[in-house]
């Protein structure tokens, strides 16, 4: 059986999807996470290797400035943008750090306006954003994105005016920010929450050349919304950006995972530029976990240690006969490893397999039954975790199946 039997079935996208990773900005806003300059530079390098084409980062504190310099010195095949507020001092800071492009983040919903600037009119607020955008794009010559914070709660009449105004001021891309994760991927969902509707309406009623989707995961829809935006942009825009974070780290429930978007684009949508790069997806996850202090959930899709772990009798029996029974793609495709573990739900098949693996000889039925009973007794006494390799070897030694000093078959 070949992976092509199941994937690469969709018609090619009629837009170029570009992953714009914000791990070093939004990701590091997650409480308790941090990364030093050298680790941040390594993260950028690894992201480039898996196909990320643009990243954004902070540049206010000294460690961030050092990280920006280190990343620029790597000369990666990747665009690096500085994240800014709608403040000219932020733009000046980005220029001093050597950035050639910036993302200017600013709310577009009246909820934010009333909470943050109750003394200002909508027109005054918009005028400031336009002024800063023009300063970045035309005065400083920076490629400029404008991020519409809380777009999925914005009144369309104002958001339309906002987008056209920043487009006139020199912005090349507008980011749809589903800031509180209430966006919906459904084609029938209306504005402002409907992501396909938002993408199509921006194309129809504004002059911005390009769009981006930045989805939060409060409802668990971040990946779905990101893919829905890409699909909706197909045939409308020459390119569409997907703002993501590795492992989905970020504020509150986090963001759309970079690794999930890359794998969906590659396998489900047939985006060939990721071919040969997905094998490093787990390596990147493991490094980011160590560098930032984030504990990668073992059952995390694609990159978790248990992403291809099998313990129950039914699953291990199926996988031992044919991995396709319980695996959607080979673990090697994403740099992961198949793990067949012994635990409470393990049956004769996996235990026979592990004995054979460790001793080099296939055991008889009586030996298998004896080990199965021993394992069951361990779990009957309250054990929860899977047995470690050395623990299983100890069982085999006690039962005289493996020599006392034996480490397994070589």
The 3-class secondary structure across 302-359, one letter per residue, is CCCCCCCEECCHHHHHHHHHCHHHCCCCCHHHHCCCCEECECCCCCHHHHHHHHHHHH
Q: Residues 265, 271: contact at Cβ < 8 Å?
A: yes
Q: Residues 206, 170: contact at Cβ < 8 Å?
A: no
Return residue ranges of the chain for CATH 3.20.20.70.
3-292
How many residues are recorded in the chain? 410
DSSP assignment of 212-276 equals EEEEB-TTS-HHHHHHHHHHHHTTT-SEEEEEEBGGG-SSTT-B-BHHHHHHIIIIIT--GGGTT
Q: Class of 3-292 per CATH?
A: alpha beta
Q: Which residues of the chain have pLDDT under 50?
A: 410
In angstroms, the CA 80 to CA 57 distance is: 8
What is the predicted pLDDT for the residue at 161?
A: 98
In angstroms, the CA 176 to CA 81 distance is: 17
Both structure tokens of 286: 């493991």
Give the model confidence (pLDDT) of 188-198 as tens digits: 999 999 999 99
Number of other residues whose CB lies within 10 A of the CB of residue 208: 18
What is the predicted pLDDT for the residue at 344?
A: 86
What is the predicted pLDDT for the residue at 304?
A: 98
What is the predicted pLDDT for the residue at 405?
A: 66
Both structure tokens of 408: 């397994």
Both structure tokens of 289: 């976990």
In angstroms, the CA 258 to CA 7 distance is: 19
What is the predicted pLDDT for the residue at 346?
A: 87
Give the model confidence (pLDDT) of 320-367 as tens digits: 889 999 999 999 999 999 988 888 888 888 898 889 989 999 999 999
Paired with 309 in beta bridges are: 339
């Amino acid at each position: 059986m070949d992976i092509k039997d199941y994937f690469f079935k969709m018609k090619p996208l009629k837009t170029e999807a570009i992953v714009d990773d914000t791990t070093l900005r939004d990701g590091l806003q997650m409480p308790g996470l941090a990364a030093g300059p050298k680790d941040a530079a390594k993260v950028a390098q690894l992201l480039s290797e898996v196909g990320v084409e643009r990243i954004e980062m902070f540049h206010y504190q000294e460690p961030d400035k050092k990280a920006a310099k280190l990343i620029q010195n790597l000369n990666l095949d990747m665009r690096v943008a500085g994240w800014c507020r709608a403040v000219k001092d932020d733009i000046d800071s980005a220029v001093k750090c050597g950035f050639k492009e910036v993302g200017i983040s600013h709310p577009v919903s009246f909820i934010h306006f009333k909470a943050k600037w109750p003394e200002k009119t909508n027109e005054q607020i918009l005028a400031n954003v336009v002024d800063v955008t023009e300063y970045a794009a035309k005065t400083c010559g920076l490629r400029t994105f404008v991020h519409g914070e809380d777009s999925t709660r914005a009144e369309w009449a104002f958001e339309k005016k906002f987008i056209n105004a920043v487009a006139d001021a020199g912005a090349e891309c507008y980011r749809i920010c589903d800031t509180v994760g209430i966006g919906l991927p459904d084609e029938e969902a209306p504005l402002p929450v409907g992501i396909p509707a938002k993408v199509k309406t921006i194309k129809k009623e504004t002059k911005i050349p390009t769009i981006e989707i930045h989805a939060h995961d409060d409802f668990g829809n971040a990946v779905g919304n990101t893919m829905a935006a890409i699909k909706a942009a197909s045939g409308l825009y020459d390119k569409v950006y997907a703002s993501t974070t590795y492992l989905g780290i970020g504020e509150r429930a986090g963001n759309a995972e970079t690794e999930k978007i890359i794998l969906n684009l590659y396998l489900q949508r047939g985006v060939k530029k990721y071919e040969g790069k997905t094998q490093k997806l787990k390596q990147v996850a493991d490094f980011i976990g160590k560098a930032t202090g984030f504990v990668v959930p073992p059952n995390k899709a694609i990159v978790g240690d248990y992403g291809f772990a099998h313990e129950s009798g039914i699953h291990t029996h199926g996988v031992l006969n044919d991995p396709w029974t319980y695996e959607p793609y080979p673990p090697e495709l994403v740099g992961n490893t198949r793990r067949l573990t012994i635990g409470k739900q393990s049956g004769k098949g996996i235990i026979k397999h592990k004995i054979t693996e460790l001793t080099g000889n296939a055991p008889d039925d009586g030996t298998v039954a004896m080990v199965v009973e021993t394992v069951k007794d361990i779990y009957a006494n309250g054990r929860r975790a899977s047995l470690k390799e050395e623990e299983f070897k100890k069982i085999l030694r006690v039962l005289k199946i493996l020599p006392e000093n034996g480490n397994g078959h070589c």
